[in-house]
Structure 1
């Protein structure tokens, strides 16, 4: 019986899990900041937050609370924006 239940579980490739996690970060920051998803995504894209922070550090980030992840991602974005203007 237990084997039949386990056989029905969907297993997603790691790349799909990482992309879903990145999408949830965009959604979470949009809600937290009151901005649209598109605005948040564009801001993240400008500093390459998804490619250079969220995806490479997925293993660590996905173990943190949602609030901590969003704070970390926002801090990354703000630091990158400041370093680009200096």
Structure 2
């Protein structure tokens, strides 16, 4: 994972935590459990980083729900 992708993932963890009223640690665990970071965010960084924060937070929520991970 390059530096830009890592900063992007950290930013999204905090954005999700703020929107969902969870700690960044809780959000990281949920995202990691679902493979969201390694299988979705990092591989698709080039496309995803051009999207808005609200869209991405909602998209991550859907990704987690499809994989049975409840927020």
TM-superposition CA deviations, 1:11-62 (whole Å, max 9, x none): xxx8100000001110000000000111111111111100001001111111
What value does the CA root-mean-square deviation take over the aligned residues? Answer: 1.4
Distance, in Å, in 2 between the alignment partners of 1:71 and 1:19 is: 20
Give the gaps of 5 or more residues in structure 2: none
Gaps of 5+ in 1: 1-13
TM-score (norm. length: structure 1): 0.75
Residue 34 of structure 2 is aligned to residue 39 of structure 1: no
Quote the residue 2:66 is aligned against. 79
Structure 1 residue ranges, 4+ long, deviating more than 6 angstroms after superposition: none
**Mapped partners of 2:49, 2:61: distance in 1:** 15
Q: Which has the larger radius of gyration?
A: 1
- Normalising by the residue count of structure 2, what TM-score does the alignment of the two structures yield? 0.90
Partner of 2:9: 22
- Figure out how many residues of one structure are paired with residues of the other and give that number: 69
Match of 2:39 in 1: 52
Higher relative contact order (CA 8 A, sep 6+): 2
